[in-house]
């Protein structure tokens, strides 16, 4: 039976997760690029909302959550043709339509996260083709493996709100795209600084709020589990924010605002897989690790690997999601409010299960994304011309400018 409070919370959570893409992620990413590329970022985010939603309607939901096969779902829900208005999602008190909508917003934001790796130099047609193929080949199967009754779920892998499904898939794939696409002109010595830090902060603030729907909504109810997930999410974000501030303060003598909110996102990504299984103490621990480890990861990608993952998708989202997934068993047994009963065979056994999940999802995301990039490049071309990159993608790709005279 549908419970009104649970259903209303899931509907509200869907709106909050959509807010994370439009407008939050758009503002966050657009503020970090040059003024001549602002609208191209928003155009990619808007296109992602349309593309991912229709993919989810046509086949994505069915392949992700249909059937009981270990590797991919069935086509019983193709075009949502078997959906009835009053259907209840199995094992919950929410409507099937609310669950479909909630998961659709996850399908929207996940490929949108990858935008941060290829801003300022990719063809718009390549964005569309890559995203369609990526959703069907990478995202949908991983959803089925982890949440849809697939083989990783039956193995006992825990991922409350998308550390693996969202952040590891997007982060690893982003690194592959950035590597294949090549760096922006001037990378790494002469990359232009963010054109609008205030826009970055506005986007980050909306992401922080929207993340409550992302994590607490994944409880699929409006009770104590959702409330604890919300508290854990906030504490991890707050902790990681302060960690990043302290690191920059010690290292440079001046903590930057962009650094602070980057820490916020790192904390949010790290708590995501564990948010439903930890209490306040575990959340603070994950925030500490998320802020510090992700800071190092960002430097490793750009300075060590010399890959222009432009807006740090792997370092923040990929590493954060993987870190939270691996630390979940240890954080779940810390203090009051955790759920050690959710672990399969204790902390050590669950850690090995989590390690399997991170490894398999990372390998699949990397290998499949590499093939998709190669196919996309062969069909529509991957990178804009040098002249278009100099002119900026706002006008070159969309015939518009964000600012008069830009």
Can the peptide bond before residue 361 be classed as cis, meaning omega within 30 degrees of 0?
no
8 A C-beta contact, residue 265 and residue 310 = no
The closest of 252, 61, 269 to 167, measured between CA atoms, is 269
Find the Cα–Cα–Cα–Cα dihedral 331, 335, 340, 345, rounded to 10°.
70
The CA distance from 395 to 190, in Å, is 22
DSSP state of 1: -
Confidence at residue 406, expressed as pLDDT on a 0 to 100 scale: 53
pLDDT at 190: 85
CB of 175 closer than 8 Å to CB of 309 = yes
> What is the Cα–Cα distance from 290 to 355, expressed in whole angstroms?
17
Residue with token string 């970090």: 32
How far is the C-alpha of 274 from the C-alpha of 159, rounded, in Å? Answer: 7
* Distance of alpha carbon 115 from alpha carbon 184, whole angstroms: 14
Contacts of 381 by beta carbon, 8 Å cutoff, 6+ apart: 123, 125, 126
Q: What are phi and psi of 346, to 5 degrees?
A: 95, 180
Please tell me the distance from the alpha carbon of residue 61 to that of residue 58, in angstroms, as a whole number. 8
Question: Where are the domains positioned within the chain?
Answer: 4-394
pTM score over 0.75:
yes
Q: Is 75 left (phi over 0), alpha (psi -120 to 50) or beta?
A: alpha
Query: Which neighbouring-strand residues pair with 383?
Result: 122
What one-character-per-residue DSSP string does 194-257 give? PS-HHHHHHHHHHHHHHHHHHHHGGGSSSSHHHHHHHHHHHHHHHHHHHHHHHHHHHHHSS--H
**Residue pair 234/251 in contact by the 8 Å Cβ criterion:** no
Spatial distance between the Cα atoms of 164 and 363, rounded to a whole number of angstroms: 12
Q: Which residues contact 305 (CB under 8 A, 6 or more apart)?
A: none
The two tokens of residue 259 are 């650094």
Provide the residue-wise pLDDT of the chain in tens; the chain has 406 residues: 999 999 999 999 999 999 999 999 999 999 999 999 999 999 999 999 999 999 999 999 999 999 999 999 999 999 999 999 999 999 999 999 999 999 999 999 999 999 999 999 999 999 999 999 999 999 999 999 999 999 999 999 999 999 999 999 999 999 999 999 999 998 988 889 999 999 999 999 999 999 999 999 999 999 999 999 999 999 999 999 999 999 999 999 999 999 999 999 999 999 999 999 999 999 999 999 999 999 999 999 999 999 999 999 999 999 999 999 999 999 999 999 999 999 999 999 999 999 999 999 999 999 999 999 999 999 999 999 999 999 999 999 999 999 976 5
Give the ranges where 253-318 is alpha helix by DSSP (H): 257-271, 280-299
Instruction: Give the pLDDT of residue 404.
Output: 79
Query: Are 188 and 308 in contact, with CB atoms under 8 Å apart?
Result: yes
- Homologous superfamily of the 4-394 domain (CATH): Ammonium transporter AmtB like domains (1.10.3430.10)
Q: Which residue reads 């392949």 in tokens?
A: 63
């Amino acid at each position: 039976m549908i419970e009104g409070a649970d259903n209303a919370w899931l509907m509200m959570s869907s709106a909050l997760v959509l807010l994370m893409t439009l407008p939050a992620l758009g503002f966050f990413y657009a503020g970090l690029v040059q003024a001549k590329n602002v609208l191209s970022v928003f155009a990619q985010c808007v296109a992602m909302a349309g593309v991912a939603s229709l993919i989810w309607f046509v086949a994505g939901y069915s392949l992700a959550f249909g059937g009981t096969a270990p590797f991919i779902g069935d086509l019983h829900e193709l075009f949502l043709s078997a959906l009835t208005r009053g259907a209840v999602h199995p094992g919950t008190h929410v409507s099937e339509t609310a669950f479909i909508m909630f998961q659709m917003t996850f399908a929207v934001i996940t490929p949108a996260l990858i935008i941060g790796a290829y801003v300022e130099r990719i063809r718009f047609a390549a964005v569309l083709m890559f995203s369609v193929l990526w959703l069907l080949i990478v995202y949908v199967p991983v959803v089925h493996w982890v949440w849809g009754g697939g083989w990783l779920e039956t193995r006992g892998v825990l991922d409350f709100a998308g550390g693996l499904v969202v952040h590891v898939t997007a982060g690893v794939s982003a690194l592959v795209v950035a590597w294949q696409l090549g760096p922006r002109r001037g990378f790494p010595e002469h990359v232009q600084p963010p054109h609008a830090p205030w826009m970055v902060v506005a986007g980050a603030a909306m992401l922080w709020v929207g993340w409550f729907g992302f994590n607490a909504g994944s409880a699929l109810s409006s009770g104590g589990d959702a409330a604890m997930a919300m508290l854990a999410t906030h504490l991890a974000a707050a902790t990681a924010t302060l960690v990043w501030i302290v690191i920059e303060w010690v290292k440079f003598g001046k903590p930057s605002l962009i650094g602070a909110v980057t820490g916020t996102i790192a904390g949010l990504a790290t708590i995501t897989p564990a948010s439903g299984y930890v209490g306040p103490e575990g959340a603070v621990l994950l925030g500490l690790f998320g802020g510090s480890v992700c800071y190092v990861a960002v430097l490793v990608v750009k300075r060590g690997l010399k890959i222009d993952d432009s807006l740090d998708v792997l370092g923040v989202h990929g590493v954060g999601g993987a870190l939270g997934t691996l630390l979940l068993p240890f954080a779940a047994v810390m203090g009051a409010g955790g759920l050690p009963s959710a672990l399969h065979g204790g902390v050590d056994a669950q850690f090995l299960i989590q390690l399997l999940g991170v490894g398999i999802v990372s390998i699949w995301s990397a290998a499949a994304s590499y093939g998709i990039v190669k196919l996309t490049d062969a069909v529509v071309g991957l990178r804009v011309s040098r002249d278009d990159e100099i002119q900026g993608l706002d006008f070159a790709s969309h015939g518009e400018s964000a600012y008069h005279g830009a």
